[in-house]
Chains A and B, each alone.
Chain A
């Protein structure tokens, strides 16, 4: 490559122009990048929260009018086959046809949802979720980080006190029990208890539904195994040890247990909520046999919470959604998906549950623990920090 020793004036000018642009861009970049870094974590101030209940909103019609102006709703992490959310979404949208639905990240975890609020705070776009449905643990967390705004639905008084935040920031909507979902075509001896899972015949067959550092369902799988191994409710160590053994023996595979995975037989034993397992069983009853087993030594119940994001760009549409979910119709939709709605006792008292629906509900006569909020945060921390170092590294080969 011969080097030109004399650069023409034109070339020189062009090069300096480009260098000039480049340097300005460099400087701009650094300043912009550092500017964003200088305040990376403090979230922008949340907008003023909306009305606290229907009365403050001026009644249902006023709510609908306000929602019409927003014309959209962003939900997050609501898979169609989870607690019958598919039907819930369909019925809600059929009722309020003026709302465009943004179904964000259906396979997201509770951790994903909280992160999404933080990451999108201040954005008005459709990827900013308006409502979240998270595991019980995360409600307290989100409230503590000022990520929620309070709203008390019309049926507020019929929600049990233990399952709601007294200020209305979050409240339970349904719960289930951790169970084994087993593909009986692929697994001849259906495991009945936690200790069975360690048997060598189940090598490479067991999966949990996500990452226990962020997915509520996966965290509870670990927790339930703790209870099943005889520990106190707030002790997660036996569970972590149990999963360490599962990973080491190769029984546990690092795959996310999915409905299709079980039905196909790829991960024939999955640790999932009983309502998910039961819906999957029904959905695939023509092609495969799925058994739902409640482990004999005990399990845990997991409550899921609803909350409205403090940064929701469409707060009135969010309130409309909440009202629907907590109405009789909404709660019965959950029950149809085998998820025990939080207003179950109230529905039963008023005898609004159809007979055939009541008949198909499963009976689980095992010891089921219902943890308190303090126990939850203690265990959450233990599993979040313990999992990567105790179990997670076992998957490296």
Chain B
């Protein structure tokens, strides 16, 4: 850097005073930079979430503290919705996790050509975004009463309908898998990639077979990632609204999915109780927070071996 800079002729770029500011001023200058972000988060995330939580514990009539709203969640309809949603979320997260894991293994260490991995990853990125209304259209065109696949199976002699319906428990599961599996793939592929070749070689050097490698080295290392991601998938399924609404929403579907129950509180207040709506929302926040805790914890553990 042989160039010398002549202060006098330096271009004026909003020159500030050259004396270092006092600590208080520097404090406010740096904090000022991040203040808009914090104000925004406060206004658009904390305040709404906070008001839900506070109102859950506030009596409808006068605002005094009460647990009544939470207790009023104990109706067969609401409990049924929570149970069904939990079942759907468990099934799709575990099944999606398993299938996603298999797919992730197949494209990373399965001996497939490299372009397949890139292609699948891109497709997974798109598929995990292809949720909501368009996804439901896609599935009604496929497995609906007049869907392409339904017709095809009919010609092969298998009549899906009337015993099967897309607009029910298993229909929801099948549709949810469409974005669960890609999510698993996207998160697990980097983890599997981080399995060092040296570990495999070390295992073989010690006389271990493929089974030994998986049973004692690879799976234990990957286990936290898998569990954490399955937890994430659970939360993902539990919180989904667009897809559920497009499939069974607007009618009796709210008995099956908690998010639809909350949606109904918006317009109908069909359960005629604003405190209850808040309690429902609060219940969802609790479930989601729990799953994110599991995910974060597992991620921290997995970082021990798979630090990127």
In the complex they form, whether A and B have CB atoms below 8 Å apart is answered with: yes
* Residue contact B256 to A396, C-beta cutoff 8 Å: yes
* Residue contact A21 to B165, C-beta cutoff 8 Å: no
Q: Confirm or deny: A5 has a beta carbon within 8 angstroms of a beta carbon on chain B.
A: no
* Residue contact A389 to B267, C-beta cutoff 8 Å: no
Q: Confirm or deny: A154 has a beta carbon within 8 angstroms of a beta carbon on chain B.
A: no
* Residue contact B23 to A107, C-beta cutoff 8 Å: no
Given contact pairs A29-B46, A112-B267, A37 touches B27 in the complex (Cβ within 8 A): no
Q: Confirm or deny: A123 has a beta carbon within 8 angstroms of a beta carbon on chain B.
A: no
* Residue contact A38 to B169, C-beta cutoff 8 Å: no
* Residue contact A255 to B167, C-beta cutoff 8 Å: yes
Given contact pairs A13-B27, A395-B256, A111 touches B47 in the complex (Cβ within 8 A): no
Q: Confirm or deny: A116 has a beta carbon within 8 angstroms of a beta carbon on chain B.
A: yes
* Residue contact B31 to A14, C-beta cutoff 8 Å: yes
What is the bound-complex CA distance between A88 and B254, given in angstroms?
A: 33
Residues of B within 8 A of A9 (CB): 23
Q: Confirm or deny: A213 has a beta carbon within 8 angstroms of a beta carbon on chain B.
A: yes
Q: Which residues in window 67-109 of B have CB below 8 A to A?
A: 75-77, 80-81, 83-84
Q: Which residues in window 233-267 of A have CB below 8 A to B?
A: 247, 250, 253-256, 264-267
* Residue contact B77 to A204, C-beta cutoff 8 Å: no
Q: How many residues of B contact A (CB 8 A)?
A: 56
B262-285 vs A, CB cutoff 8 Å, 1 = contact: the mask equals 001011111000100000000000
What is the bound-complex CA distance between A84 and B27, given in angstroms?
A: 65
Residues of A within 8 A of B182 (CB): none
Number of A-B contacts (CB under 8 A): 166
**Given A14, A38, A250, A255, which contacts B251 in the complex, CB threshold below 8 Å?**
A255
Residues of A within 8 A of B58 (CB): 34, 37, 40
* Residue contact A268 to B145, C-beta cutoff 8 Å: yes
**Given A211, A264, A265, A393, which contacts B268 in the complex, CB threshold below 8 Å?**
A211
What is the bound-complex CA distance between A111 and B271, given in angstroms?
A: 11
Residues of B within 8 A of A268 (CB): 145
Given contact pairs A33-B55, A40-B60, A395 touches B145 in the complex (Cβ within 8 A): no
- Greatest chain A CB density within 10 A among B30, B162, B250 is at B250
What is the bound-complex CA distance between A210 and B248, given in angstroms?
A: 10
Residues of B within 8 A of A397 (CB): 84, 168-169
Q: Confirm or deny: B259 has a beta carbon within 8 angstroms of a beta carbon on chain A.
A: no
Residues of B within 8 A of A395 (CB): 168, 252-253, 255-256
Q: Confirm or deny: A109 has a beta carbon within 8 angstroms of a beta carbon on chain B.
A: yes
Min Cβ gap B299→A in Å is 15
Q: Which residues in window 171-218 of A have CB below 8 A to B?
A: 186, 203-205, 207-211, 213-215, 218
**Given A108, A208, A247, A266, which contacts B267 in the complex, CB threshold below 8 Å?**
A108
**Given A203, A210, A254, A255, which contacts B255 in the complex, CB threshold below 8 Å?**
A254
Residues of A within 8 A of B180 (CB): none
Q: Which residues in window 357-385 of A have CB below 8 A to B?
A: 384
**B63 nearest CB neighbor, chain A only:** A38
Given contact pairs A17-B31, A255-B248, A396-B80, A109 touches B268 in the complex (Cβ within 8 A): yes
**B265 nearest CB neighbor, chain A only:** A115
Q: Confirm or deny: B18 has a beta carbon within 8 angstroms of a beta carbon on chain A.
A: no
Residues of B within 8 A of A21 (CB): 38
B19-53 vs A, CB cutoff 8 Å, 1 = contact: the mask equals 00001101110110000001000100011001100
Given contact pairs A105-B267, A211-B250, A255-B251, A37 touches B167 in the complex (Cβ within 8 A): no
Residues of A within 8 A of B83 (CB): 396
* Residue contact B77 to A266, C-beta cutoff 8 Å: no
- Greatest chain B CB density within 10 A among A32, A213, A268 is at A213
Min Cβ gap A107→B in Å is 7
Min Cβ gap B179→A in Å is 21
**B146 nearest CB neighbor, chain A only:** A265
Residues of A within 8 A of B239 (CB): none
What is the bound-complex CA distance between A179 and B307, given in angstroms?
A: 65
Q: Confirm or deny: B122 has a beta carbon within 8 angstroms of a beta carbon on chain A.
A: no
* Residue contact B31 to A393, C-beta cutoff 8 Å: no
Q: Confirm or deny: A18 has a beta carbon within 8 angstroms of a beta carbon on chain B.
A: yes
Given contact pairs A14-B30, A265-B146, A396-B256, A254 touches B168 in the complex (Cβ within 8 A): yes
B138-153 vs A, CB cutoff 8 Å, 1 = contact: the mask equals 0010001110000000
* Residue contact A393 to B165, C-beta cutoff 8 Å: no
Min Cβ gap B41→A in Å is 10
**B30 nearest CB neighbor, chain A only:** A14
* Residue contact A30 to B254, C-beta cutoff 8 Å: no
**B84 nearest CB neighbor, chain A only:** A396
What is the bound-complex CA distance between A34 and B52, given in angstroms?
A: 10
* Residue contact B250 to A256, C-beta cutoff 8 Å: yes
* Residue contact A264 to B162, C-beta cutoff 8 Å: no
**Given A105, A213, A264, A391, which contacts B270 in the complex, CB threshold below 8 Å?**
A213
**A250 nearest CB neighbor, chain B only:** B162
Given contact pairs A255-B248, A392-B252, A392-B255, A111 touches B27 in the complex (Cβ within 8 A): no
Given contact pairs A13-B27, A115-B269, A218-B251, A253 touches B167 in the complex (Cβ within 8 A): yes
* Residue contact B55 to A111, C-beta cutoff 8 Å: no
What is the bound-complex CA distance between A265 and B166, given in angstroms?
A: 13
Given contact pairs A254-B168, A396-B84, A111 touches B63 in the complex (Cβ within 8 A): no
What is the bound-complex CA distance between A282 and B256, given in angstroms?
A: 35
Q: Confirm or deny: B54 has a beta carbon within 8 angstroms of a beta carbon on chain A.
A: yes
Residues of B within 8 A of A211 (CB): 250-252, 254, 264, 268, 270
**Given A40, A209, A266, which contacts B63 in the complex, CB threshold below 8 Å?**
A40
Min Cβ gap B241→A in Å is 16
Q: Confirm or deny: B6 has a beta carbon within 8 angstroms of a beta carbon on chain A.
A: no
**Given B63, B140, B255, which contacts A388 in the complex, CB threshold below 8 Å?**
B255
Min Cβ gap A85→B in Å is 19
List 25 A–B pairs whose Cβ atoms lie within 8 Å, in order of A's numbering.
A10-B27, A14-B30, A29-B46, A30-B54, A32-B47, A33-B50, A33-B55, A34-B63, A36-B55, A37-B51, A37-B63, A40-B60, A112-B268, A115-B267, A211-B270, A214-B264, A218-B251, A253-B167, A254-B253, A255-B247, A256-B249, A268-B145, A388-B75, A391-B252, A395-B255
Q: Across the A-B interface, give the 5 residue pairs with the lowest CB-CB distance, nearest first.
A: A203-B162, A38-B63, A254-B252, A112-B267, A33-B51
